[in-house]
Structure 1
């Protein structure tokens, strides 16, 4: 019996099932799976498995290439509707907040610890240096960020920047806007420069910490450290945590380049980049939340203890959201 005869008989015995499967797929592709009848829904996986069996036999018996190619395409289309994930934009949105984002952050826990320690190290070092020699202050705080908040200012002038309403876009309003813009830029740069073995990321984290430490040394010198802590807490716990997470995302990429393991550096960096990118989408959301707190909450709420309560409660909520284990919806 010739190969052509075998191929013809093979097709005749199974072609009706292939045609039915193709008809079902056309309806699903043009409309949706919901448009299929109950009978077609039940037949779909059976016909798919039959097509897979036909494809396997066609390959083993070396039937004509055209038939094998047709069956491969048919099986690939059917696979999508039998096993593929078909979710709406809303479902993907919910999945991001329910699982994808917290999972990504939890996977960065080592990098997050390193990132936080570097910022704390910078803050402590700058605080000690400025507290012992105020001339160090200008080395850590840019003039535009200080904007009169330096050792030439009196305690009353510094106090007004923490509580008084802004006038003409100066004072608290200018400082708050500049500080938020600076921290947002630091977050993005920590992530973007991570590919350079994580070195620029580490430097940025330390530098950001030094500015924080220098300001605390200044306000501590004027007896206002507690008040400054409340002023920063209401938005800073979210904003600084976002910077730490951005640094962790940058480190994940940098360390993948330095220690790729058995993979190539490009493959390792690409894999790390997927997790880091999910984390950074969340960082942007955190910065938006911090911006709202900074633009409204910090100016409307002037009680020190209230500021502390809001800021540190938010931090606890972020930590609970990221690090308390949860069951996945498909688990």
Structure 2
């Protein structure tokens, strides 16, 4: 193909398309029809040039024209505060609610395993000796020891930010690694359970379990719930790889993956709240009952949010996926 001849033959069409795109007023019916026709022809020209004689400058120019025309023809969807409100009141809670059959058993089994492992550590001195030397364990569990001073060892704001970052990373790992057939998620869960069980067992053996729970419960209820939700969502995503159901595996994975991404964003906000509680409430001088009450209220508020707003959105057909006009087109399949 002679590129110079081709450009000469079609330059007027490209210039006309460019003028239509640059108009500051709305197009009338005839102009809109003309724009669609020029868009289709220019897209064909671009494809032909790319396959025959890909001149970089010309390809760049036509790509810009085709992209601008496509945006004008199909419309560009812009996120608004209404989208944010819809995500917080429908999308996120619906995704968490729909995944409840995964994260609630995950939470119950994790708590049970923590209790069993904590009891085992607390009643077996040989296991405690494997964790650390007696002087180190006393330093950790004594009044004013490391378990207590941990929450007041840094300024509140920086400590809250650090806690939020660490917890968001753990939740993100559960969600991202879920696609790898669930196994990495189970490892992340076990690591968290083990760390908590060690604290429970060591403080129980020192007769200070009430102090430990008074430090952990204010922020830990909401924090652990967020981790369990992330783990349950990750496990659900991993199971979709094994059993996609009636949908093609790629379609099912895309749907669950988009919902999991929304859950990750929502959990970042939830963990921000738990991080603030851990940074400002847990080390405060409030009585233990007051600190624990704040944690219980935060947990009840989140569960109410999920079951009321999420349940309502799920019953209305919400899945936590993006809006239909933002998804890729799916081909019909026989079921």
Deviations 1:55-107 (A, max 9, x none): xxxxxxxxxxx79x79xxxxx999967xx9x6652111111111111011111
Higher normalized contact order (CA 8 Å, seq sep 6+, divided by chain length):
2
The answer on whether the counterparts of 2:219 and 2:277 sit within 8 Å (CA) in structure 1 is: yes
Separation in 2, partners of 1:315, 1:308: 11
Aligned residue for 1:136? 127
Deviations 1:106-132 (A, max 9, x none): 111111123213422431231122022
Q: CA RMSD in A?
A: 4.6
1:119 aligned residue (101, 110, 113): 110
Aligned residue for 1:162? 148
What SS does the corresponding residue of 1:260 show, helix, strand or coil?
Answer: coil
The answer on whether the counterparts of 2:226 and 2:267 sit within 8 Å (CA) in structure 1 is: yes
The answer on whether the counterparts of 2:185 and 2:234 sit within 8 Å (CA) in structure 1 is: yes
Deviations 1:26-55 (A, max 9, x none): 89x978xxx98xxx9xxx9xx9xxx9xxxx
The change in CA–CA distance for 1:303 and 1:119 in structure 2 (over 3 A counts) is same
Separation in 1, partners of 2:80, 2:104: 33
In the TM superposition, what is the alpha-carbon distance from 1:325 to its structure 2 partner?
Answer: 4.3
The change in CA–CA distance for 1:99 and 1:294 in structure 2 (over 3 A counts) is same
Unmatched tracts of structure 1, length 5 or more = 1-25, 52-65, 71-75
Length, aligned pairs only: 272
User: Which has the larger Rg?
Assistant: 1
1:311 to 2:282 alignment: no
The answer on whether the counterparts of 1:301 and 1:307 sit within 8 Å (CA) in structure 2 is: no
In the TM superposition, what is the alpha-carbon distance from 1:237 to its structure 2 partner?
Answer: 1.4
Aligned residue for 1:268? 252
1:99 to 2:90 alignment: yes
What SS does the corresponding residue of 1:299 show, helix, strand or coil?
Answer: coil
2:237 aligned residue (224, 244, 253): 253
The answer on whether the counterparts of 2:214 and 2:292 sit within 8 Å (CA) in structure 1 is: yes
2:100 aligned residue (100, 105, 109): 109
The answer on whether the counterparts of 1:252 and 1:276 sit within 8 Å (CA) in structure 2 is: no
The change in CA–CA distance for 1:117 and 1:152 in structure 2 (over 3 A counts) is same
Q: Within 5 A, what are the aligned runs for 1:31-180?
A: 88-137=79-128, 150-151=137-138, 153=140, 155-158=142-145, 161-162=147-148, 166=152, 169=154
The answer on whether the counterparts of 1:195 and 1:253 sit within 8 Å (CA) in structure 2 is: yes
2:217 aligned residue (219, 229, 233): 233
1:289 aligned residue (270, 273, 289): 273
Unmatched tracts of structure 2, length 5 or more = 1-19, 42-69, 317-335
The answer on whether the counterparts of 1:238 and 1:315 sit within 8 Å (CA) in structure 2 is: yes
Q: TM-score w.r.t. structure 1 length?
A: 0.65
